Structure 1
Amino acid sequence: MDSRKMRKELEERLKHPDRSFTYDREKDQLRIENIHTGKGITVSLPGIIAKWQDQKEKAIDEVVYYVSEGLNAMENKVELSGKEKNIYPVMRSTSFPAEAEEGVPFLYDEHTAETRIYYALDLGNTYRLIDSKLQQKEGWTAKQVRETALFNVRSLSVQFKEDRVADNTFYFLNTNDGYDASRILNTSFLNEMKKQMKGTMAVAVPHQDVLIIADVENNTGYDILAQMTMSFFASGRVPITALSFLYENGELEPIFILGKTKKE
């Protein structure tokens, strides 16, 4: 699969009378745009091709789905008022764009050196990141959005799967509701988990659809967590960070794992 074939495949599957396609050869990106509004989504072909090598048609299906849902969300009228229960925080890497393609800044807060908190309005099958234009149009302050989102994330379920490996316990929260990684902001939940730890508590958000909590009881546990986090990071639809974090006194501190059993 090369860029030409991938481009042709995406254009065929996303074809619509109201859409136009523009290919940037230098950046190897395809932009899909609504011809009436000028709003659109740009996708990087090399990243999709890399996923296609492992996932084949599933990789293309995911791109088509999210582009379609994203374009539909842009075309629909979006309001915050009356939708307070649908506002949530979403975790992203610090390399994620700080503004929409139109140059409108997103509302976000710094979280760690590796992560940021953005805010989104849930639209059902997708969500719309809240930007300054939407926020101001609705008359919402940044504080209102932030407090509403953090209140809502605490209402999400925190059921997880548990796995014991080499005398270390790993907990996986993976509901695929788009906010699994966002549960890292539920400090009450993290503090309750902390009470259950026999060893050191570590947390990871490799991509938006998983939260990993580890009860690390020996050095091997750090190695396993690092490998696990990297694997999730590489396969995630929206990668966040391949680093894990120690959770101590309500604070997240990045873990750098060197060699087989060293940590610093």
Structure 2
Amino acid sequence: MEPVELKRILVGKLETPERSLHYDAKEKTLRIEEKSTGKGITLSLPGLTAKYEQRKEAAIDEIVYHVNEVFTVMNHDQSLDEHQRAIFPVIRSTSFPTENNGDTLIYEEHTAETRIYYAQDLGKSYRLVTENMLVKEGWNLNQLREIGRFNLRSLEDSMKKDIVAGNTFYFINRNDGYDASRILKQQLLDDMKRNAKGALAVAVPHQDVLIFADIENEQGYDILGQMAMHFFTNGRVPITALPFLYEDGELEPIFILAKNKPKDD
């Protein structure tokens, strides 16, 4: 399917009297805006086309749901003070936008591949915290960070385990929107490192999964690389296909080479 074909399908499902849709043929993007405010979301169609090729109508339904939730959140004004227990850090790629409709998003650097943003959980959706929201509430970044990390520590870390070619893989996949965020739980990483028989690798290919790998032989790196790429390609909110080695309390991105050997980035 070509991006222009996907555009036609999405226009048919997303167009309403309250919205205006603009297609940029050069950039291959579709902009959906609220007529009354000019606020909206821009979809990059080439990447979505690839998802459609893999998942067909399920991909369309997911895109439509996401866009509709964005417009719901934009018109949902809730105080941060009233919902402190619903604020969590979220992991995103370094290519993720740093502003939304002209309002700067609050974020912190994390690794060479990832950033930390903050989200206010609204139940079925969320909104990312912006500078204007902090100013309105009289908060600072330290307050936001402390509340977010406190809430993150309350989340369960139950895992599924799989052993492949002598290497042990653990998956956190609770689909609560914060699976990847658990990479920020220092105690969790330290516990996994202490219990690992070999090298400990970590991957956050998309928002809804965190992978730990206890690598005991060279084949383990190859398996982890293929696994991370698969999850990255199929994730709803992709982050990075590069895994990390966890050593001395630090995360270092690694490339998985053809000969199964890791190389520091």
TM-score bucket of the superposed structures, by smaller chain: over 0.9
Matches within 5 A, 1:119-130: 119-130=118-129
Please state if 1:26 is matched with 2:18.
Answer: no
Counterparts in 2 of 1:137 and 1:4: CA distance versus 1, 3 Å:
same
- 1:81 matched residue in structure 2: 81
Partner residue, 1:206: 205
**Structure 2 residue identity aligned to 1:55:** R
Equivalent residue letter for 1:220: Q
1:95 is matched by which residue type in structure 2? S
Q: CA deviation at 1:83?
A: 0.4
Is 2:38 the counterpart of 1:38? yes
Quote the Cα distance in structure 2 between the aligned partners of 1:39 and 1:78. 18
1-side partners of 2:255 and 2:9: how far apart?
A: 40
Distance in 1 of aligned mates of 2:119 and 2:100: 13
In the TM superposition, what are the counterparts of 1:1-264 in structure 2 within 5 Å?
1-102=1-102, 104-264=103-263
Q: How far did residue 22 of structure 1 move?
A: 1.3
CA offsets 1:5-57 (integer angstroms, 9 cap, x no match): 31121122123222111111211111111111221011011111111111101
Whichever residue aligns with residue 251 of structure 2, its letter is L
Amino acid at match of 1:145: L
Question: Which is worse superposed, 190-199 or 153-162?
Answer: 190-199
3-state DSSP of counterpart to 2:104: coil
Structure 1 position 216, deviation (Å): 0.5
Q: TM-score, normalised on structure 1?
A: 0.96
Question: Which ranges of structure 1 fall in alignment gaps of 5 or more residues?
Answer: none
Question: 2 CA distance for matches of 1:127 and 1:155?
Answer: 18
How far, CA to CA, are the matches of 1:259 and 1:183 in structure 2?
A: 30
**1:17 alignment partner, SS class:** coil
Pairwise CA RMSD of aligned residues? 1.1
> 2: distance between equivalents of 1:187 and 1:91?
15
Higher mean C-alpha displacement, 209-218 vs 14-23: 14-23
- Tell me the secondary structure at the aligned position of residue 65 of structure 2: helix
For the residue of structure 1 that corresponds to 2:191, the secondary structure is helix
Percent identity among equivalent residues?
A: 57
Equivalents in 1 of 2:18, 2:79: separation in Å?
A: 23
**Stretches (4+) displaced over 3 A:** none
